[in-house]
Amino acid sequence: MISGNAHRKSSFLLSIFIFLACLFLSQVVIAQEAGTQDSSTTQDSSSAKADKGKSDQSKAKDDQSQASTDQQSDETDPLKRAKPETKGSKVEKLGGVYKKWLDEDVRWIITGEELNAFKKLSNNAERDQFIENFWARRDPTPDTAENEYKEEHYRRIAYANEHFAAGMPGWKTDRGRIYIMYGPPSSIDAHPMGGPYQRSAEEGGGQTETFPFEVWRYRYLEGIGQEIEIEFVDDCQCGAYEMTLDRSKKDALLHVPNAGLTTFEEMGMANKADRFHGGLENLGQGPFNQNLQTKEFDRLDTFAKLNAPPPVKFKDLDEIVTHKIRYNLLPFDVRVDFVKLTSDTVLVPVTLQIPLKGLTWTNKDGVQRAVLNVFIKMTTLSGRTVQTFEDTIRKDIPAELLEKELANVALWPKAVPMRPGLYRLDVVIKDVNGDKVGTYSRGWQVPDFADDKLTSSSLILADQVQKVPAREIGNGDFVIGETKVRPRVQPSDGKPASFKKGENVNFWMQVYNLGVDEKTKKPSATVEYEVVNTANNQSVLDLTESTAQMGNIGDQMTLEKSLPVNSLNPGVYQVKIKVNDLVSKQTITPTAKFAVQ
């Protein structure tokens, strides 16, 4: 029994062994067949690649042959040649002074069509031509090459930056924008602190409390109307006055129940809640505003409409400049100063000083009168006229005082914005009563107040330096910003300007591009004032102050000092103002001379 079982077990194991051997042999045969097929495929692929390489080489030779043929054809046919790149075709990105001109200088006066056209220009040569044409289109007197519009525009920008800045440059604010577009208002009703306010009858009457606000009144705006009122409200009390059509915006108690009621609301004839009816204004009802319609101020493109100066009146004086005829019968003196307006615009105040004793006087009704016609032309070295302007000066003196007044002089100021560069200044003055004529011609370099260089305006020695009323800021004679600076003009004989006993010698100068400390975010500089008697080199004034003593200033500061002449002996003195920038390590030392009689 045991023997039979062992035999069956042995046969079973043999069967399994044979099965496994057959399975192994079949796998070997399959692998060999697969290898043979792969080898054949590889050979076929290599053959195909070789054939393709030969084909590509043949095709490349054909292409080279065709290119050579085309090149020879192009050489014989100039119309098929590639167009060479020219200087004018090179695209130059908008940047630098052009971007600033677009984003700042003319932002409020450029039209949509002009803006789109300017952005499509591809190079700086085209942009320069566009800017020149831009101002020429606004020139009210194109035949004379005078551009009063441009002159007034840059004066307004300088004023706005100085007076309306509030966390942003003044030209960006609502007040700055309106001032630049329409000029100074006829009057300003200012409430800088807000507080108690008696409403007008049109606003409903009654008393309330207000935020700081201003109302600008224009008697007439061409193309808009008469008696225009524009209201600006500082409801954030941060100095950012916003123009508003809603006269109730200044009402600090507008949303306080039962406070700041109008006349009808106090009498129980109206409800304060009725103010919020969804209109442009939330004014309460009063006896005189039942049918009041809200006034809206339309933003208009004014271009050259606001300034319409007369054409050149003195053609005879223009002829004198054009033909270079020199007259020396009427003596006068000229002073030219330079004050920075923007990074690429300089205010050039020109002051004429005419001795009264050289004029012809006529008596009418006991009053002696002298009349002068003034013509001024500024040109480039190539002869292109940049600015021309003219005026009539009238001087009236009571007959009994004429003899005494003849020892004095008449001053005539004119300030004009210019680009940096070299110009020629021609001045002609004609005595209308006596037909005398005097001329002046000289080249002047208008400085470039580069942003990376410590520099200063002209050092002006003045007999008057004083703040002016708000309505005269930026408008009056000799006014620079908010200060009247009347210079003492140096005579043409080379002697320094003179001052008499009882007068004050006033020093006025602006400093530009002070370095700002990265940590304190403030400038750090010292200013040394020194006045020396040139005869004995003795110092009569030696004063030093720092920017830390001057309050909150930025990268620009204005220096003003006054020295009584009574404390000085007769003689010639030199003023030296040394500015030492401790941040940028730069120093400037402007000087000027004056005489004491």
Q: Evaluate whether 483 touches 475 at the Cβ level (below 8 Å).
A: no
Where along the chain do its domains lie?
312-443, 450-597
- According to the model, what pLDDT value does residue 223 have? 66
Query: Percent of the chain at pLDDT above 70?
Result: 73
Give the residue-averaged pLDDT of 181-193. Answer: 88
Contacts of 219 (CB under 8 A, 6+ apart): 186, 226, 227
Q: Is residue 478 left, alpha or beta, with left meaning phi > 0 and alpha meaning psi from -120 to 50? A: left
Start-to-end CA span in the chain (Å): 158
Q: Select from 243, 186, 245 the least CA-distant residue to 218.
A: 186
Q: Evaluate whether 148 touches 307 at the Cβ level (below 8 Å).
A: yes
Q: Evaluate whether 406 touches 357 at the Cβ level (below 8 Å).
A: yes
Q: How confident is the model at residue 492 (pLDDT cuts 50, 70, 90)?
A: confident
CATH number of 312-443: 2.60.40.10
Range with the lowest mean pLDDT among 23-27, 262-266, 430-434? Answer: 23-27
The letter for the amino acid at 127 is R
Residue 263 vs residue 481, higher pLDDT: 481
Q: Evaluate whether 265 touches 272 at the Cβ level (below 8 Å).
A: yes
CATH number of 450-597: 2.60.40.3880
Per residue in 116-175, pLDDT (tens digit) is 888 888 888 888 888 887 887 777 776 666 788 888 889 999 999 999 988 889 999 989
- According to the model, what pLDDT value does residue 171 have? 92
β-bridge partners, 141: 146
Give the residue-averaged pLDDT of 555-579. Answer: 92
Alpha helix (H) residue ranges in 138-278: 148-163, 174-182, 263-266
Q: Is the dihedral of CA 340, 342, 345, 348 positive or negative?
A: negative
3-state SS, residue 565? helix
Pair of tokens at residue 218: 């224009």
DSSP 39: H
Would you state the torsion angle of the CA atoms of residues 2, 8, 10, 16, taken in this order, to the nearest 10 degrees? Answer: -150
- Tell me how far apart the alpha carbons of residues 204 and 201 are, in angstroms, rounded to a whole number: 5
Contacts of 420 (CB under 8 A, 6+ apart): 344, 346, 446, 447, 448, 449
Q: What angle do CA 43, 49, 54 make, to 5 degrees?
A: 130
- According to the model, what pLDDT value does residue 493 have? 80
Q: Evaluate whether 596 touches 536 at the Cβ level (below 8 Å).
A: no
Per residue in 274-324, pLDDT (tens digit) is 767 666 666 776 666 555 544 433 333 322 333 332 232 344 555 555 544
Q: Evaluate whether 205 touches 186 at the Cβ level (below 8 Å).
A: no
Q: Select from 380, 374, 376 the least CA-distant residue to 424.
A: 380
Pair of tokens at residue 543: 């004063």
Judge whether 312-443 and 450-597 match in fold. yes
Query: What beta strand segments (E) does 473-537 contain?
Result: 479-480, 483-487, 497-499, 504-512, 525-533
Q: Is the pLDDT of residue 66 over 80?
A: no
3-state SS, residue 275? helix
Q: CA distances (Å), 415 to each of 35, 106, 196, 464, in order?
A: 99, 20, 42, 17
Q: Is the pLDDT of residue 452 over 60?
A: yes
Q: Select from 158, 167, 44, 37 the least CA-distant residue to 104.
A: 158
Q: Evaluate whether 471 touches 188 at the Cβ level (below 8 Å).
A: yes
Q: How confident is the model at residue 36 (pLDDT cuts 50, 70, 90)?
A: very low
The pTM score is 0.49
- Residue 547: exposure state from Cβ atoms within 10 A (0-12, 13-18, ≥19): buried
Residue 585 vs residue 473, higher pLDDT: 585
- According to the model, what pLDDT value does residue 67 have? 45
- According to the model, what pLDDT value does residue 182 have? 83
Query: Percent of the chain at pLDDT above 90?
Result: 30
Range with the lowest mean pLDDT among 260-269, 297-306, 466-475? Answer: 297-306
- Tell me how far apart the alpha carbons of residues 274 and 269 are, in angstroms, rounded to a whole number: 11
- According to the model, what pLDDT value does residue 575 have? 94
Q: Is the pLDDT of residue 450 over 60?
A: yes
Residue 585 vs residue 75, higher pLDDT: 585
Looking up tokens 């525009």, which residue turns up? 153
3-state SS, residue 526? strand
Q: Evaluate whether 286 touches 264 at the Cβ level (below 8 Å).
A: yes
- According to the model, what pLDDT value does residue 295 have? 42
Looking up tokens 């270079």, which residue turns up? 324
